[in-house]
Structure 1
Amino acid sequence: MQAVLNYPKIAVISPQGCLNAANALEFERDMTTALAQNGISILVINLAAVESLDSAGLMAFLSVHKLALSLGRSCRLCAVAPSIRIIFELTQLDRVFEILDDEVDLTAT
């Protein structure tokens, strides 16, 4: 008997700078577009270059997370700087999102 492994298709988005009220809708639209592509089952958001995050940015993450769940897909975060991670921890959103150390962790999922 032969084992067949199906690896999910992964889309990676790497925002830069500030995720705030000024650009949250555009960021959400980009994430939604990536997640809605046929064949994509995991959306990874690489936050290595994100300097700050406000409540509008958090709402964009939550909106895309809800969309991912409704589509039977997953949304994960990676390379989250300590200053950004604390925002997820204070809001307890670190319990909602799977947070990976870096993109290399994807091979283990």
Structure 2
Amino acid sequence: MGIETNAKDGILTIRIRDQRMVDEALLEQLERDVTAMLDKSTEERVILDFESVQFMSSSMLGKLVKIHKQCQGFKVKLKLSGVSPEIREVFKITRLDKLFDLEKDEAAARKAFLKRGIFG
């Protein structure tokens, strides 16, 4: 699984490099990796970047909800960036767009975090 991370300005960016997030083993690995990063990181803000993701299964939605809850447990603010229009529509249909803060791209997510300071 391709994940890249970068920490800058108190923001941890996790970029998912896989185009298709459908394999259960891949999804489990993503959850483990993100949990480990949250456990080690001192950043209070996380961007999960989906720019490369073109398709994801309903299981991925469940993993994202778990990751969101983990972020809350760590008192970390989470934003999703680079979500394609098709996947954004799935978020809308499932009403997960109410749970997740979806930003156009990583730059917009970073700007939104920096604009709001450490509390946003």
| Normalised-by-shorter TM-score class | 0.7 to 0.9
Whether the 8 Å contact between 1:10 and 1:41 is mirrored in structure 2 is yes
Q: What is the deviation of 1:37?
A: 2.1
2:14 paired with 1:13: yes
Q: 1:35 to 1:53 in 2, by over 3 A?
A: same
Unaligned runs of 5+ residues in structure 1 are 1-6
SS at match of 2:55: strand
What is the CA–CA distance in structure 2 between the aligned matches of 1:37 and 1:59, rounded to whole Å? 23
Q: How does 1:23-42 map to 2 (within 5 A)?
A: 23-42=26-45
| Structure 1 moving runs of 4+ over 4 Å | none
Q: Could you list the per-position Cα deviations for residues 6-56 of structure 1 after superposition, in whole angstroms to 9, with x for gaps in the alignment?
A: x96211111121112241101111221222223121121111100111111
**Corresponding pairs, count:** 103
- Which position in structure 1 is the counterpart of 2:117? none
Please give the alpha-carbon distance, in whole angstroms, between the structure 2 residues aligned to 1:42 and 1:92.
23
- Structure 2 residues without counterparts, runs of 5 or longer: 1-7, 114-120
Percent of aligned pairs sharing the same letter: 25
Aligned to 1:92: 95
Q: Normalising by the residue count of structure 1, what TM-score does the alignment of the two structures yield?
A: 0.85
**Residue 46 of structure 2 aligns to a residue in which SS?**
strand
RMSD: 1.6
Structure showing greater Rg: 1
> Secondary structure in 1 aligned to 2:53?
strand
User: Is 2:111 the partner of 1:107?
Assistant: yes
- Partner AA of 1:67 in structure 2: Q
Q: Partner residue of 2:54?
A: 51
